[in-house]
A and B are shown apart, each in its own frame.
Chain A
Amino acid sequence: MASHKLPNYLRVHRKRLGLSLNEVAFLLGWRGASQPSRYEHFSRTPTLRTALALAVVLQVSIRDLFSGEYRKAESAVCRQAQRLEARLTMESPDQRTARKLAWLKRIGSADGNPS
């Protein structure tokens, strides 16, 4: 695994299947190849609906297809989880808080793990 993931791996999965940009555009119901090309060149980020459609077309999970974006979101959530964990530790310990803390620890430890 590389130290920095690319925002998406659309190009490699498309080429692996031997699909052209025009064919991907057709499958997604677009007129031209410019939109998928923009995604492949990282100049645009697809909407959730488009990302799901791309995952269906290329038969790859969203997490694998958008590894870089996934990592970015994961580390942002982990940072927030650590903040919330620190805040909850200050509060009076009851069963509910303990359950939340255990869950937040799991989220916090997920950062940096291979996906």
Chain B
Amino acid sequence: MTSNKHNPKRVLAIDPTSRGFGYVVLESPTTLVDWGGKVIRDQNEAKTLAKLSELIRHYGPEIIVLEDPRESRRCARIQSLLDGVCRLATEEGIESRRVPISRVKKVFHAFRATTKHEIAQVIAQQLPELAPQLPRYRKAWMSEGYGMAFFDAAALALTYFHFRLLRTAGAPQARPMAENLKRSELV
């Protein structure tokens, strides 16, 4: 039997927004289990954490992936919320991983995707279930689409998987995202 260390684990990635948060649940870089957005009124941190607790109880993720806000310009509320999510993960006995946005950009730069929309397009090819929800190209005067939150969460999760698969490159089932995408003749 293979060791548990090399078993891909169920990952919950979340991306907080001004209206709530977007989330994706993945069992491998190509196996999407659920995705969506939760709307939280009044930007209430306790309500957000309660919604997140429901997701944790339902899916029993082994890892929660979040953005590392230190290298980005996220507001104090989001930074405090991300800290709260990490505390919640520790209380529930779940590992949490913070992925800096620079790392996400580095991974998707290999697929010539630099903007959020281009990254979302690459994700829609990797996870075709999300393709119908791909927000249309945002002009400068338009507000960001509701669906972009779970594309951002998916970007964090795929970056996490990419680096984890690179670390465990010796494992038989390890196949970095780059290889998956090469197979789909994207690059």
Report the contact-size class of chain A (Cβ under 8 Å from the partner).
10 to 19
Distance A16 CA – B35 CA, assembled complex (angstroms): 10
- Asked if B32 and A12 make an inter-chain contact with CB atoms under 8 angstroms apart, the answer reads yes
Q: Check A12/B8 contact, CB under 8 A, given A1-B28, A3-B62.
A: no
CB contacts (< 8 Å) of B1 on chain A: these are: 112
Q: Does A6 contact B (CB under 8 A)?
A: yes
Main secondary structure on A side of the interface with B: loop
B42-84 toward A: CB 8 Å interface, digit per residue (1/0)? 0000000000000000111010000000000000000000000
**Residues 55 to 82 of chain A near chain B (Cβ within 8 Å):** none
Q: Does B33 contact A (CB under 8 A)?
A: yes
Q: Does B27 contact A (CB under 8 A)?
A: yes
Residues in B lying within 8 Å of A, measured CB to CB = 1, 4, 7-10, 27-28, 31-35, 58-60, 62, 129, 132
- Starting from the known contacts A6-B60, A12-B33, A15-B34, 18 additional A-B residue pairs (CB-CB under 8 Å) come to A1-B7, A1-B8, A1-B28, A2-B8, A2-B10, A2-B27, A2-B28, A2-B62, A3-B9, A3-B10, A6-B59, A9-B33, A11-B33, A12-B34, A15-B129, A16-B129, A41-B58, A42-B58
